[in-house]
Each structure stands twice: as structure tokens, then as C-alpha cells.
Amino acid sequence: MKNGGLSIDIDRTRAGNVCIVTLAGRIDSSNAKDVLAELTRLMDSGETSLLVDLGNVLYLTSAAFRVLLVATDEAERRAIRFALCSLAGHVLELFEMGGLVDVFAIHHSREDALKQLS
């Protein structure tokens, strides 16, 4: 799903009972609300396990971190399993600099995450 030509692509796939949301591009204040809207829609639809794959995210701002924190809190409130995977390079450095590595359930790869969530 393209969000009006902005700099983020949001795709959904399934692996068993896990809904995988793959983000690609940049997540910033111009499109972070679209990411949150999609994650919220999936939670509202009854998903019980959500995996957000950040392997193709080139850059994110504080707006992106806020969205991921809100989604994590909402998932916890609803007893939905929620994890991130495939953080690398600059994106991983931003999580580390922000002290957020321990705030999220982060898996090295999609395969590792699916083993934990399935």
C-alpha cells in the first residue's frame, strides 16, 4: 500500500498466525500517522500476532519511534504479540542511541521472530 506517494511503503503478508507488516522507505512526521493507522487497523481486525519488518526502512525520526511505542503499548493492552525485526545499519543505531533496544521485542531476522511468535 502506497500512502499517497509519500516516502513509506506498507505491505502485509502472513506466515501462519502472524501478520507481517513490512515497511520500506523513510518514516517521519509526514507519514508516521499512516503507519499507526495501519497497525491499529490490524489490531482492530483481530490480529493476535504482529511482526513489523524494518529491514527496508532507510531512516526514521522521533515520530516513527512514537508510533512504534504507541503500537507496542496498545498491543500489550490488548494481549497481542508485537515484535520488530530486521533492524540494521543506521536504523539499529538510532534505536541504540535512543535507548530503545530493550523497550521493544526486537529480533535479528524475520525467521527468528516467526519462531518466537508462532
Q: Where are the beta strands (DSSP E) in the chain?
A: 8-15, 18-27, 49-60, 81-85, 106-107
Q: Tell me the average pLDDT across 66-76.
A: 97
Amino acid at 95: F
* Residue 69 domain flag: yes
* Residue 83 domain flag: yes
Q: Tell me the average pLDDT across 22-41.
A: 96
Could you tell me the pTM of the whole model?
A: 0.93
* Residue 2 domain flag: no
82-100 tens-digit pLDDT? 999 999 899 999 999 999 9
| Residue 40 confidence (pLDDT) above 50 | yes
**Domain extent at residue 25:** 8-113
* Residue 82 domain flag: yes
* Residue 118 domain flag: no
* Residue 3 domain flag: no
